[in-house]
């Protein structure tokens, strides 16, 4: 199974891709905060210039109101291979995982419960464990972030909720090797097959099908 880091905010795309290849990654998804279709089009063209490496484009939607989130998701869904939502308070996060068009719920303060995990599984919305969130926290805040991750991981294992593990690299030097993130996943209590799936291109492959003209609905495609 190929290794993909599917949430890379780094703006130095070429250097990040070059270093990621050296570290053992098969692909990256470069993510930009949604700022309009023109900006996304420019970014897509930038990523297309990266050669001999699997680089894709994702969008981070960071809004305050759940209604704005849903409107933006509908607008963006046909324009990008990945949609990540920045988590907020509980009711907002619940609306996120009730929206099947969303791929990932992100945020170090996202707190799960059994209802949310079951909804996320039903709607195939993955929960992100972002290593950058942990290493950039300090003292008691880092302890709180880590314990929240541990608690979320317990719910995810119990209810078989989809999840991803990312380095959250803000620049090339924030990258971690796949084996570093494998160790991070083990620390959270996951087994190696679960971790490897969480660091794969599974979501991207499915979304590429959805973006094709042959896709009608899950399980239904034109010949």
Check pLDDT > 50 for residue 218: no
* Mean pLDDT, residues 8-12: 96
- When the pLDDT of each residue in the chain is averaged and rounded to a whole number, the result is 93
Indicate the pLDDT class of residue 223, thresholds 50, 70 and 90.
low
Give the SS3 label for residue 205. Answer: helix
Q: Which residues does residue 41 pair with via DSSP β-bridges, in sequence order? A: none
Q: What is the DSSP string of 38-90?
A: HHHHHHHHHHHT--SSEEEEEEEE--S-HHHHHHHHHHHTTT-S-EEEE--SH
How many residues comprise the chain?
223
Model confidence, pTM: 0.93
Percentage of residues in the chain with pLDDT exceeding 90? 87
Residues 120 and 130: their CA atoms lie apart, in Å, by 18
Report the domain count for the chain. Answer: 1
- The residue whose two tokens read 């609306």 is 95
* CATH number (domain holding residue 107): 3.20.20.140
Show the domain range for 109: 4-221
Is residue 26 within 8 Å of residue 2, measured between CB atoms? yes
- The residue whose two tokens read 């160790």 is 183
* Mean pLDDT, residues 39-56: 93
Inter-CA distances, 50 with 22, 27, 121, Å: 15, 11, 34
CB atoms within 10 A of CB 48: 10
């Amino acid at each position: 199974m190929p290794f993909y880091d599917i949430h890379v905010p780094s703006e130095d795309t070429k250097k990040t891709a070059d270093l990621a290849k050296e570290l053992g990654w098969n692909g990256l998804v470069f993510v930009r905060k949604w700022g309009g279709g023109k900006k996304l089009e420019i970014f897509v063209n930038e990523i297309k210039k990266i050669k001999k490496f699997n680089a894709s484009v994702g969008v981070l939607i960071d809004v305050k109101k759940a209604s704005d989130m849903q409107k933006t998701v509908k607008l963006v869904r046909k324009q990008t291979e990945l949609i990540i939502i920045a988590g907020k308070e509980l009711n907002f996060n619940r609306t996120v995982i009730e929206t099947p068009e969303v791929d990932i719920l992100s945020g170090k303060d996202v707190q799960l419960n059994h209802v949310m995990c079951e909804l996320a599984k039903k709607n195939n919305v993955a929960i992100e464990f972002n290593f950058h969130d942990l290493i950039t926290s300090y003292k008691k805040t880092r302890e709180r972030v880590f314990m929240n991750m541990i608690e979320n991981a317990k719910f995810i294992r119990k209810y078989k909720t989809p999840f991803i593990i990312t380095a959250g690299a803000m620049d090339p030097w924030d990258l971690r090797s796949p084996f570093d993130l494998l160790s991070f996943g083990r620390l959270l209590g996951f087994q190696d097959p679960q971790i490897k799936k969480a660091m794969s291109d599974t979501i991207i492959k499915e979304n590429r099908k959805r973006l094709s003209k042959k896709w009608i609905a899950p399980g239904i495609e034109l010949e």
